[in-house]
Chains A and B, each alone.
Chain A
Amino acid sequence: MTQKNRLQSGGRVDRSTPLTFSYNGKQYTGYKGDTVASALLANGVDIIGRSFKYSRPRGIVAAGPEEPNAVLQVGATEATQVPNVRATQQELFNGLVCESTNGWPNADFDVMSYIGKAGGSMLTPGFYYKTFMYPQSMWETYEKFIRKAAGLGRSPLENDPDFYDHLNQHADVMIVGAGPAGLAAALSAGRSGARVILADEQSEFGGSLLNSRELIEGRPATEWVASVVAELSELDNVLLLPRSTVNGYHDHNFLTIHQRLTDHVADKAPAGQARQRMHRVRAKWVVLAAGAHERPLVFGNNDVPGCMVASAVSTYINRYGVAPGQDLVVMTTNDFAYQTALDWADSGRNVVAIVDTRPNPNGDRVAAAEKRGLRVIKGAAVIEVQGSKRVSGVSIASIDAKGDKVVGSVERLSCDTVASSGGWSPVVHLSCHTGSRPEWRDDIIGFVPGKTVQKQLTAGGINGSYSLKACLEEGARQGAEAATNAGFEVAAAAVPAVAEVKEGAAMALFHIPHTKPTSRAPKQFVDFQNDVTAAGIELATREGFESIEHVKRYTAMGFGTDQGKLGNINGMAIAAKSTNRTIPETGTTVFRPNYTPITFGAIAGRHCGERFDPKRYSSMHKWHLENGCTFEDVGQWKRPWYFPKAGESMQDALNRECKATRESVGILDASTLGKIDIQGKDAREFLGRVYTNAWAKLAVGKCRYGLMCGEDGMVFDDGVTSALGENHFIMTTTTGGAARVLEWLELYHQTEWPELEVYFNTVTDQWSTMTISGPNARNLLAELTDDIDLSNDNFKFMDWKEGSVAGVPARVFRISFTGELSYEINVQANYGLYVWEKLFEKGAKYDLTPYGTETMHILRAEKGFIIAGQDTDGSVHPYDLGMGWCVSNKKPFSYIGKRGMAREDCVKPNRKQLVGLKTKDPSVVLPEGAQAVKDPNQPIPMTMLGHVTSSYWSANLNRSIAMGFVRGGLERMGESVFYPLADGRVVEAEICSPIFLDPKGERQNV
């Protein structure tokens, strides 16, 4: 296809570099410098999609991020699919593949349009609620249908081959937007030496200057842009970010920038290059120079392809060398759109008429158009468009001075393009992200940024300052002020000479009247993406949705991926008028980040795959890997779970590991337990305050188990703490609780008891800890140490000794979590693997068996030892656990948890208590979480007495064992409780002591 709308000359495209691309399966040609939108327009593609609700054909309306219709699915392969790409922002590259996302099965012929035509009158606003919300169980079905028909795009089914990146930036001055105001601001700020970041969403800097034919210093404005960019590029303190959308403005001047590094180059990023980058910027001062978006006017059939925003038409002509039609009608409420008519005429096309809603327009541009001989129809409006797949003509009529009603007869004009302008809306979005409400200004007929607590300045179009001179002046001044405020005092850069253009006053008109009432007139669209019409908004207000937030949710106005950039102000104006309020009284909806859609890749950055979350390893990890270990995640740690041998099931492995440990000796990598070094003369006192039991008399060389509670008296961690010296202890915590416990100790030390002389330091990573457990533990250890007397008289249960193991200095703690004779060997982690391997060298003859967390859980459950976090859940105190022996109420200080445990509810009878559970059928293993009831025949809802917390098959006891909570359980030994399971079975279990094996504790004391 030829580029029938491409002009012979002009624009910033490179006609010597043609690029081919595919749209909806057809090949087209554009030029380097095109966007997909400009290339499609050049090729005469009118229909870019189908509308959301009515399935009406839609064309390109705008030229920037506010485009509501031209939302494409881009990607040549499944893996490189990107949904929700605005054709107006996607630069063309050779081989680009894209398709319409709106329109199913295709944009030109659309089955939904029949539904739209047949049921159009039934699809009133609020149809989400009225039609689809009931019955609720059907929502999933509806949602798939809506999503497909609505064209929200689809995510790829394959992994993204590209990588994305984040950069943390710090700036003195962050300037958003590189139009005339932003460039002038950057010049001032950059020259001060301040660290400046200048970001703009477009491929080149210049903003509106790229689209206009204005002169600066008597030369094309783009020459001035080039000179400014050249100067800024030379400054080390200035970072220039084109193709970078400032998408979020967060608290304390934190901004997120989405930079597209290679989206303009190819479908996939070149090898070694990040496709996109998120800059996370902390700025001392921010200058918002985000400009303004032109509003289209709301009139009958204003969505027919060929209806465009006036400035977009100028942009396609001036920047891309594309005139998207032959015969133009301009409708405007202001002077700016006259420039579009002049641009159109200068491109050699026919201007049918300029229809001005004002009775007496009088600015310089009006005079220029009239001088040029263009037909100007004053005090009139385009009330309706003819055509279905492309504009074929318009109906125009005179309107009254307020723009409320049609007063004259209707005239028809033939044309294929309608450019409308209802004035400009400052891009206030970013200024609203931090909670600031925009303020309405009658003089510019728009919202401008409101009061803010951010260190923020604004310049140019965002302030409603639309003349080039004002933009340059404000930019230079605000850039200098921002730099000065940030500590880099500087004067404003000199403003270059520009011609001054006299502007006539604009008319505040949004919704063009029709000869028929709005409800009967042809559809007048406000929000193209969500098919919200003026009639729909009026209906919503009549139905009582007066708050603009309610109107938004009822009509879905502004809900699309364009977030109502084009239509919101028109919608608010219509809602205001139909509720007899002013626009400021009606207010705006809230703008939130992100300003434009952003890829998940950019959000994730490098934090994906193996780098998604840190994995923590012990020094012996390599050995575990080499010995077939299966791992369990405990917090961020990779802990050995069990060590299956060839052909073994998990249960086989556990049975073997459990028996080997009780019959000879097993070994556990316990390095992940939290370890806290505690030094200071008040260490002992501190321990007494944070543990429930007594520490005053623990002798040096001894170890003691402790329970830690919150102020509510509920257990939150436990572990063994050992007296290394009079003023020196080492505390162990659960693996998952290490960081929390350390912070808990610091919290109390720093805020409540700073007078206690004690220091806490984490030594979790400092020590490799290996626990050998079983009747042969002493024999094995004896083979590796010659300086520790291991005799039971010298080295008792709950003692620790220092000596060497395999020639490495070690602290050996005789503590036991299995109930067997156990030694916990601690060596500096640099020697962990060495000592571990030496243990295996000597351990072969004892069948030294490595075991992991699962066997550890079984062995401790056989002994009735709790695991904090498994057998506790934040609602149980030590007495509930049957661990009153671990509570000392003789301590003089009211330790943490003491008062909490004494609360009325904590001391009442019949609390849930931890007990052992033996199933009547020993082969049945209760599921953890199973609920206990007294009477399994009680109708539902049954009275639940508690639940199973730990449950295993015990190979040593050749039966199942379990622990769980039962109301009043400690008083109910020998009674039966029942566990009705989800599969219909009811398991009966007898309440018993949780100590299933060696109740006198003889095995650990041998």
Chain B
Amino acid sequence: MAAGLRIDVRARLGGFGLDVAHAFALSGVTALFGASGSGKTTLLRIIAGLEDAADGEVSFADEIWLATARGIRVPAHRRGVGVVFQDARLFAHLDVAGNLRYALRRARRNGPAPGLEAVAAALDLGPLLARRTGALSGGERQRVAMGRALLSSPRLMLLDEPLAALDNRRKAAILPYIERVVHEFGVPAIYVTHAIDEVAHLADRIVVLAEGRVAATGDLPEALERLDLQPLTGHFEAGVVLEVRVTAQDLAHRLTHVDFGGQPLVMPMLDLPLGAEIRLRARARDVSVATERPRGLSIRNVIEGRVAAIALEPDTAFAEVVLETPGGPLRARLTRLSVEELGLGVGQPAFALIKSVAFDRRVLPRGPGQAG
């Protein structure tokens, strides 16, 4: 990979300083993850060239965007960075088509540029084109904002919690659009969020920011399985991402059978062809552990493995157990009492009982430019 976004910056934040040195890979989606106030948005604004009060260096491929020591500060409009803001920031004096054309007229000329029709089709903007921006719903505004950013032919897309202002149903409706846009138009993206499910759904890798510093980085799905992310991702949402393949469709029972490292899993039917590779997400709280293969149980998904780690959570009733299985690790959240009563120990064989799995995303074939 030739192009990279290298950052080494410091800036003042509310209660602490932002101090980030990191090289972002420029392919697919990088999630910039952290709690509110961790400096995610400030870092995004520094990359976009919208933050004046930052010291340090930012370079994109062989271009220097910021080098305060040498007095270099490339203004935002010369960086070719498309930004989708949390509040959409559509131009109120123009209709939807006017907003899109505003970007198109100022699009960077070098390289292939996405056309208005292709972008409108990918984001289903056709019915909205003649509408005034004030008459759009929150989800529609974000789709228009994404389309507008794309039409400026950016070399890098920055998405600043584009779903934060939407309710859960609308979020679910928009996520596929974001995914489609990123993969269809091949623009690398940095996606700021504090929602781990969005990370699991969209991202190829994650950069965790805490109190203005990079706390962890890694590729998905492995990064989500590491216990050291746990205090940042939160117990409630902690879990793992499973990569599975569709093996059978049971139309009578409306179930889809998938293969997880040689062991079967069933889940509510997904409209996918046989052989499709998908990602599932199993939250730790939806996984239990047994020391023998259970009988007479309504849970159908039982995966055989071996205990790889046990982490007791101090001052709580809970513990996290990591099971190593042929398909990859699974995490289970148990009470500490259960861990004791089952006599669980590292290295011991065990069975994971998965109450439910959530469909995360289709694993798309990776192009030559994409990092694995």
Q: Do A and B bind each other?
A: no
Interface residues of B (CB under 8 A from A): none
Interface residues of A (CB under 8 A from B): none
